Amino acid sequence: MNRFWVFLIALSFFSFFSFGQAKRSTLRVRLSDGDLIKIAVNDRYFDKTGRSLTIGDLRGKRQYLKVYRFRPYADGRGGRAHLLFSGMLKLEKGHIYDAVVDVRTQQLSLTEVSALPAAPSQMPFRPGSDHAVGASPLPATPAPEALSPRLASLQQAMDRKDTDEGKLKIAKTFLEQPVTAEEVKTIASWFFFDDTRMLFIKAAYPGVTDKNQLPPIRDVFTEEATRNAFDQFLQEQR
């Protein structure tokens, strides 16, 4: 009898665990031109960069997805993420989905699949797209030799971090001393995402010695919506 109850309990536990696992969804995301991407799900930014990214263990039906095109700087030190798509996805629990963002329309196509097929080795090239593969790379960030010793040391420390969260923690240590608007703009360019650039600039604002030089910092953002939010922030400080 004891063995029976032990078996029954073990079977119940296994069934419960398997049922819980089956209720978690999987999502693969890629661009129609096969370029590098970064993604965020429910405002959680993932460390990985790739031509397709797969996220498993998604719980719940509603997932807020952001898909960024990632363009590495020519010098290999970091890069810039440009938002192509953001929106709420409705996923059935325990199902698998393949999502493709059309770089021309910036619309997302979501397909439910029984298993994820291999991603195409070659994506269609769109010569008319400003962001097509093969477009001119973004300019490199200033080399450490062109920076002050203090800034160069900060850049090296930030480059060792793979996430904006880690970069931000280090960048904030630079704010223990007064900073110039130009230094703030330079440091902000070392983050991947506009959201983090804005957080850093807001944290730096009280210690900026030449606040009248802050408006040009808006050029560091990749999204017009963030530039407008930055302009609004400056107006609120007056």
Q: What tens digit of pLDDT does each residue of 60-118 get?
A: 788 899 999 988 876 666 678 888 998 899 988 889 999 999 988 889 999 888 887 77
Q: Which of 213, 218, 223 is nearest to 179 (CA)?
A: 213
- CA 123-128-132 angle, to 5 degrees, is 45
Same domain? 95 vs 112: yes
The total domain count for the chain is 2
d(CA 208, CA 199): 15
Residues 6+ away with beta carbon under 8 Å from 173: 154
Q: Is 85 exposed, middle or buried (0-12, 13-18, 19+ CB in 10 A)?
A: buried
12 lies in some domain: no
Which residues span the domain enclosing 132? 24-138
Does residue 19 sit within a domain? no
Q: What is the mean pLDDT of residues 186-196?
A: 91
Q: With respect to residue 13, please indicate whether it lies within any of the assigned structural domains.
A: no
Residue 231: inside a domain: yes
Whole-number Å distance between alpha carbons of 146 and 174: 18
Asked whether residue 119 falls in the same domain as residue 34, the answer is yes
Pairing status of strand 37-41 against strand 62-72: antiparallel
Is the whole model's pTM more than 0.75, yes or no?
no
Q: In what order do the strands lie in the sheet with 25-31?
A: 52-58, 25-31, 96-102, 107-113
Could you tell me if 109 and 160 lie in one domain?
A: no
Strands 96-102 and 107-113: antiparallel
DSSP letters spanning 73-118 = -TTSS-EEEEEEEEEEEE--TT-EEEEEEETTTTEEEEEEESSPPP
Higher pLDDT among residues 122 and 161, named by residue: 161
Provide the CATH number for the domain around residue 132: 2.60.40
